[in-house]
A = this chain, B = another copy of it.
């Protein structure tokens, strides 16, 4: 079934308002959440709405959070998100980073006391409107085993970079620091397919091909998959995201990060507050005349897009191209949602007394 973006936005806003958000925050949260659906990242969009609400029902999201700057310098700030929605805290923090960059060239903001912030790219891309480079990362509940270990110690800890160009569309990379993100396993589960080698291990640390392995104590693997293919590098990346997001801000880090799912309790002995994010904004003209940079970026993007392909394979994909194409298509034709998620959203609507929209096809 396919739904109009505006109908989904209005439904999502109403749900957040019903949960106690003010109109302004509800709008910001909904736009951030649905940016995932628009960009084709179905795992991180409206499909998660009932997850946020369940966390709120358990008292684990504060819908009236009061974000506070608890520490700052001319180029940095640390935000206490007061247990609020990461979807809103992300935009709040990114705006501070952008303002600091306007003043002193760059801005860097760490956030504690937060919750899941949606897709990292959404926040990083706020910089593009100011012709700046944007960076966003977040830690997440532990699903990933470091190289050599059986234990889930890190989240899929994504990082996003948004880099403007002159005439070409911006370079927008947003990726989990694992071989494959959890969303890819969910697709395999639905299709009853097995996972490729190097994505997951079982609870003993042996290779597994079972996309349901995480529910049996298994773990996702860092980018690289195994030691011989550089999983220690993927582990480094996930670790840096964790440290920048949570140890710099005072959030929970590593195995102490609270789970997104409401049916799992947070660790009893927290080492910080909520989950953590890290944002950066760099003014282009803090380094060189902006037009020189933007023209070079056009040339960079063209050179890579035109690099010769391997026979039988597509062209080199410029990061952000598939999501941009999805956004254009879905803005025009609506957002497809799988039946299971539609059912879940309908139930949510009934529970919250908000009518779920009819599909447009």
Contacts and interface: CB of A to CB of B under 8 A. Distances in A.
A205 B316 contact: no
Contacts of A176: 233
A236 interface: yes
Interface stretch (A29-37, A87-95, A286-294): A286-294
Contact of A307 (B153, B173, B299, B315): B153
Given A148-B315, A314-B148, A300 B247 contact: yes
Given A223-B230, A229-B196, A229-B229, A249 B310 contact: no
Ranked nearest first, the 8 interchain pairs of A and B with the lowest CB-CB distance are A73-B105, A205-B310, A173-B236, A76-B105, A74-B104, A76-B286, A149-B307, A75-B105
A253 B73 contact: no
Contacts of A316: 146-149, 153
Given A76-B286, A240-B173, A148 B106 contact: no
A171 B293 contact: no
A223 B228 contact: no
A311 interface: yes
Interface string A54-76: 00000000000000000111111
Given A73-B283, A108-B105, A233-B223, A307 B249 contact: no
26 contacts: A71-B287, A75-B286, A76-B286, A78-B287, A78-B288, A106-B106, A108-B286, A110-B288, A146-B304, A146-B316, A148-B317, A153-B303, A153-B304, A175-B233, A175-B236, A179-B224, A179-B229, A205-B311, A224-B229, A225-B229, A232-B317, A236-B319, A239-B319, A247-B296, A248-B288, A254-B304
B310 A148 contact: yes
Contacts of A239: 171, 173, 304, 319
A52 interface: no
A347 interface: no
Interface string A247-259: 1111001110000
Nearest to A197: B229
Nearest to A293: B247
Interface residues of A, number: 88
A32 B308 CA distance: 38
Contacts of A110: 287-288
Contacts of A297: 243, 247
Nearest to A227: B313
Given A106-B106, A171-B239, 15 more contacts: A71-B288, A73-B106, A74-B75, A74-B103, A74-B105, A76-B287, A104-B104, A146-B307, A201-B310, A223-B234, A224-B225, A239-B304, A247-B293, A248-B288, A255-B303
